[in-house]
Amino acid sequence: MDDDEEEIDEEQVEDYCAMLDRLGNFPEKVAINSLSMAAEDFANSPTSAHIIYNCIRSRLIDRTTPGISSPDRKLPLVYVLDSLLKNVRGVYINIIQDDAASWMSTVYDIFDKANNKENEKARLKKVWNTWKEFGVIKDEEKWRAIGECFIKAEEKAKAVADARAIPVAGIKRNADGTLQITPSLRKQMQLLLDEVQSTGVDELEKVSLERLADINPDLLQQLKEAAIEEQNQQHQQQLSTTNPSNTSPMFVSPPLSEWSKLNLNHLEKSHDLIASLQRHVRSANEMTVVKSQLDDTIHLYASVSASAQLLTDMLQTLKDGTSLGFLPGQNNTSSGGGIGSGSGGGGGGGGSRRRRKRYSLVKKENFTNEGIRQHNDAVIAQLYEVGLPFVCSADGKRFASQLELSQHLDSLFRKSQLEKQMAKTTEERGWYIVESVWMTLGRKDAVAPTDQQMLSDAGAGATALADASMTEANRTIPTTVIADESRDRCLLCGINFAMFFDQEDGEWKYKNCIEKSVEHDDGPTMDEKDELENVLVHVTCWEGLGSPECLTPDQIRHAH
């Protein structure tokens, strides 16, 4: 080092590196100017300038160090080198232009492999172009060598554009690379392509028609021919339908072999769809929406919420219709009339009689030691939803018809009214006196209680018990529960809960919902906390079981 050169010490190097690290992901102009001014003190010292340049270069090409290797931190460092070339100049010009070809391609490759970095690549190319425009790098060959990565990218893009200009399978391309196909033909070709990719292909690896034209033009040609043939067949069928050649009855063609192999659980798919819609509605509270898009977003989530509610009501209607005997694909009319026909004249007698046909009769030969151990659906059905489908919500008793249930409820009401009248009009003497009076009878100064005193004490105790029972009877049951994504269906009927937004609590909640415990009796070795499991059920379903305090596995199985 010459005597007139200013030498940089280790402390200054550490301070400069710390300033580079503080620059972070944002190219702040003040910070870049501070870095340029700090490097300007060594603009005439090749040794010190090389040290500063290496501090910047090492961070620029780093791909492994956490934080420093982030693609977001590369462009601010490029702006620092650009400032050294244009503002500080000095020995930095020769140092940077002799080595820029190596790190420029590295930075471009980092941006190319990262996602959504097209803007960063465009800004990097703009920095390279300004070096020639402002005359910073006057040597044409060095300038082109530095931007070799941009030149190759342009040539590749031009080659792709030229290839797109050539028709593929007789189909021309638009300027944006899309295929020039009529909407009907595109729809038919896409259906055939989706059918080809339906099995054995991951959802993320499926290709579009434009991508298929690049990787397999022959397959695109086959799809086009098959789509045209399919369109011709559909057109002929439409002509034969609108202009029949004879008056013979039309028969529906049998399903294709591929469709006959499908085994879809539409009910389960509907449950998943409702849960997904409700999840999107709940997540809307956590999103930040631009004010200009607020109206459209509100209408969008209102439509999603309405769709979830509509599907839930449809499933509930289907569930109710199935429980009344209206099974899809069956003739649900009886010889005696509608639903109300049948023995007893109840509202569901006809449906109950029709459901019995699904179960076999009890056979006498099964009354053996082995036969009585077998699971008999007919006997179980007669004891529960088929033989006794109507459940009293007051005491849990089951009845065969709606009329019998109504008569039972009427008798319970008359009994309760009679008990209330008897409690008001009659006062009976207790069988024994209260304990406090009994304890005082042995003393000499004790006075025997009168009948009126004993009656008043007994009446006070009876009044307290009556108040307690009335409080228990009039206790309101909460019918809403905070929405839980992991428990979005009723454990008894399997239908999704209807969801609404509680303005007072600011929470999404389920309607007609209650949380109950399920007892699991798997042996004496289980812990007490493992014997109970909290589940969510419809209040109406729970009342249909007789409003038990805890549910049992048998009740859940029979409810299904």
Q: What angle do CA 160, 165, 171 make, to 5 degrees?
A: 120
Mean pLDDT of 85-89: 91
| DSSP code for 476 | P
Statement: residue 462 has pLDDT above 60: no
**Mean pLDDT value across residues 126-143:** 91
Q: What percent of the chain has pLDDT over 70?
A: 67
The backbone torsions φ and ψ at residue 457, rounded to the nearest 5 degrees and listed phi first, read: -65, -45
Mean pLDDT, the chain, rounded, equals: 75
CB 536 within 8 A of CB 490: yes
Question: How do the domains of the chain map onto residue ranges?
Answer: 10-160, 183-242, 427-473, 481-559
3-state SS, residue 330: coil
pTM reported for the whole predicted model: 0.37
CA distance 387 to 376: 14
DSSP code at position 478: P
> Could you say which DSSP state residue 547 is in?
-
Find the range with the poorest average confidence among 135-144, 295-304, 325-334. Answer: 325-334
CA distance 398 to 400: 7
**192 or 2: whose pLDDT is higher?**
192
Does residue 416 or residue 269 have the better pLDDT? 416
| For residues 57-79, average pLDDT | 91
User: 344 near 403, Cβ under 8 Å?
Assistant: yes
At 457 the pLDDT is: 54
CA angle 509, 514, 520 (to 5 degrees): 130
- Between 420 and 24, where is the model more confident? 24
**Mind listing the pLDDT tens digit for each residue in 378-406?**
677 777 777 788 889 888 888 888 888 88
- Span 223-232, average pLDDT: 85
Place of tokens 């406090």: 436
Whether the per-residue pLDDT at 459 is higher than 90: the answer is no
Span 494-504, mean pLDDT?
86
Q: Is the pLDDT of residue 328 over 50?
A: no
pLDDT at 332 over 50: no
Q: Identify the pLDDT of residue 168.
A: 66
pLDDT of residue 270: 74
The pLDDT score that the predictor gives to residue 442 is: 59
Question: Which of 533, 555, 522, 529 lies closest to 487, judged by CA?
Answer: 533
The pLDDT of residue 465 is above 60: no
Amino acid 364: pLDDT: 73
Question: What are the contacts of 138-141 at 24+ separation with CB within 8 A?
Answer: 139/97
Q: What pLDDT was estimated at residue 476?
A: 60
What average pLDDT score do residues 341-360 get? 40
* CATH number for the domain whose boundaries are 10-160: 1.25.40.90
| 56-70, 337-351, 453-467 — most confident range | 56-70
Name, of 69-83, 238-252, 285-299, 394-408, the range with top average pLDDT.
Answer: 69-83
Q: Is 2 left (phi over 0), alpha (psi -120 to 50) or beta?
A: beta
Overall average pLDDT of the 521-525 stretch: 53
Q: How confident is residue 423, by pLDDT bands cut at 50, 70 and 90?
A: low
Q: pLDDT by residue (tens digit) across 32-65? A: 999 999 999 999 999 999 999 999 999 999 999 8
